[in-house]
Amino acid sequence: MAITGPVPVVADRALLPPAAAAAGVAARPAIPARSATTAPVGPDGNTTCSLKEKYGKPCQLLGKGANGNCWLVRRHTDHKVFAVKEFRRKRESETRREYMKKLTNEYCIGTILHHPNIVETLDIIFEKGHCYEVMEVCEGGDLFEAIAAQSMTQDESDCIFAQLIHGVAYLHSTGVCHRDLKPENCLFDANNHLKIIDFGSADVVKSPFETQCRKSTGRCGSGPYMAPEEFTQSSYDGRKVDVWACAIIYLAIMFQRFPWHAAKPSDPNYASYVKSGCKTKFFDRLAQGPRELLRHMLEPDPEKRYTIQQCLDDPWVKSIRMCDECATTTTTTTTRHSHGRCSNKSSKK
């Protein structure tokens, strides 16, 4: 599946050896290093029950991010494990109001979302100036690691993409757009369910009582996953930004590389893509189904770009064989895939 030529690799923990640049062609950017976004904190900074009393003492560091660290916690009463995100302290450049809004945003949005492809947010604890968010633990690692391993088959790659589309479609149906979709924000549980995480940049664009979606503001996301309108418009449709990011994630899964560093005119590869009428060698290497869909998803004009529902209704997406562990309640198949590092468990009933 790898593309030969001048497209450099996924960075930080490189997925492939650096490719030599071909004459006259601008080098393709690498997938950037991991980065986190934002999350919650509450009124008095205290609760009646400490994290240790309610869930136990953090016993293993799962990961570090710009906005906090994630720990594994084993509850002493029943030995059940949880993931606990400890949020960073307020930065000097932030007002307390801004900081509180970021912290409460992720928790409040997370607690209203319940879907097989969305991580379950269970609790929030304020203790001595610290804020902890308790979530279900995802033992299978993240999509970034799965891409780096280069061990996924075509069917497995498509299954992951279908799960991502299902999860994002659910978000949009509840009036929420994520705005920071990337492989680092997609985890796998022990049964190979893809779980979308990190709602610190999420935006509620429509309440249950509204008929029209509001525009989102502010530049969110990471590098190549960001849609072009984020660089040119003060307000934009956050849902279309998510659609763009999903398409870039699929290209990263398939080729471990990006078609451009940033979707703006100053990027020669993106400028060439727009000038050519949305043609890229990445599309040429895809089968007809995903090629046609991604052309619609990576439409530079957000007004013409597909909605997530159109992606969900696409014939190719409907034809993707999702494995039984990953299938939603409306999907019935018998295929089994191995996505995350818990793949050895997927073969057991």
73, 101, 135 — which closes off a domain?
A: 135
* pLDDT tens by residue, 287-334: 999 999 999 999 999 999 999 999 999 999 999 988 765 655 555 555
Q: Is residue 336 part of a domain?
A: no
Instruction: Output the CA–CA distances (angstroms, integers) from residue 311 to 283, 291, 307, 316, 317, in the order listed.
Output: 17, 12, 7, 9, 7
Given 116, 135, 154, which residue is the final one in a domain? 135
Q: Please compute Rg for the chain using Cα positions.
A: 20
Closest of 261, 195, 257 to residue 222, by C-alpha: 261
Pair 114, 260 in one domain: no
Residue finishing a domain among 108, 135, 162: 135
CATH number at residue 64: 3.30.200.20
pLDDT digits (tens, 9 = 90+) for 106-122: 888 888 999 999 999 99
* Residue 180: active-site member: yes
pLDDT at residue 48, as a whole number? 58
Residues 203, 103 share a domain? no
pLDDT at position 314: 98
- Asked if residue 173 and residue 155 are part of one domain, the reply reads yes
Residue 325 maps to a domain: no
Residue 346 lies in a domain: no
In a domain, 246, yes or no: yes
Instruction: Indicate the number of domains in the chain.
Output: 2
pLDDT at residue number 15: 36
Helices (H), 133-199: 143-149, 154-173
For residues 201 and 286, membership in a common domain is answered with yes
Q: Are residues 71 and 87 in the same domain?
A: yes
pLDDT at 130 over 90: no
> Residue 98's domain spans which residues?
51-135
**Tokens (6 digits) for 320:** 């993707």
With respect to residue 349, please indicate whether it lies within any of the assigned structural domains: no
Query: Could you tell me which residue, 201 or 21, shows the higher pLDDT?
Result: 201
Q: Using alpha carbons, select from 213, 202, 208 the residue that is nearest to residue 106.
A: 202
Confidence of residue 258 (pLDDT cuts 50, 70, 90): very high
Q: How far apart, in whole angstroms, are the C-alpha atoms of residue 153 and residue 146?
A: 11
Contacts of 58 by beta carbon, 8 Å cutoff, 6+ apart: 51, 71, 72, 73, 84, 86
Indicate if 273 and 298 belong to the same structural domain.
yes
Indicate whether 86 belongs to any domain: yes
Q: Does 56 lie in the same domain as 201? A: no
Residues in the chain: 349
The answer to whether residues 61 and 203 belong to one domain is no
| Percentage with pLDDT > 70 across the chain | 80
Model pLDDT, residue 75: 92
Same domain (yes/no): 131, 151: no
Domain identity same for 210 and 265 = yes
- pLDDT over 70 at 336, yes or no: no
Of 63 and 276, more confident: 276
Q: Is the pTM of this model over 0.85?
A: no
Mean residue pLDDT of the chain comes to 83
- Average pLDDT on 80-88 reads 92
Annotated binding-site residue numbers for ATP: 85
Q: Determine which of 29-33, 98-102, 135-139 has the lowest per-residue pLDDT on average.
A: 29-33
Residue 327 pLDDT? 58
248 within domain boundaries:
yes
Span 73-95, average pLDDT: 90
Residue with token string 């799960």: 163
Do residues 103 and 188 share a domain?
A: no
What CATH number is attached to the domain comprising 247? 1.10.510.10
More confident residue, 315 or 336: 315
Q: Which residues are annotated as a binding site?
A: 85
Does residue 158 share a domain with residue 113?
no
Strands 130-135 and 81-87: antiparallel
The answer to whether position 335 is within a domain reads no
Three-state helix/strand/coil letters over the chain: CCCCCCCCCCCCCCCCCCCCCCCCCCCCCCCCCCCCCCCCCCCCCCCCCCHHHHCCCEEEEEEEECCEEEEEEECCCCCCEEEEEEECCCCCCCCHHHHHHHHHHHHHHHHHCCCCCECCEEEEEEECCEEEEEECCCCCCEHHHHHHHCCCCHHHHHHHHHHHHHHHHHHHHCCEECCCCCHHHEEECCCCCEEECCCCCCEECCCCCCCCCCCEECCCCCHHHCCCHHHHCCEECHHHHHHHHHHHHHHHHHHCCCCCCCCCCCCHHHHHHHHCCCCCHHHHCCCHHHHHHHHHHCCCCCCCCCCHHHHHHCHHHHHCCCCCCCCCCCCCCCCCCCCCCCHHHCCCC
Which one from 180, 198, 242, 267 is the annotated catalytic residue? 180
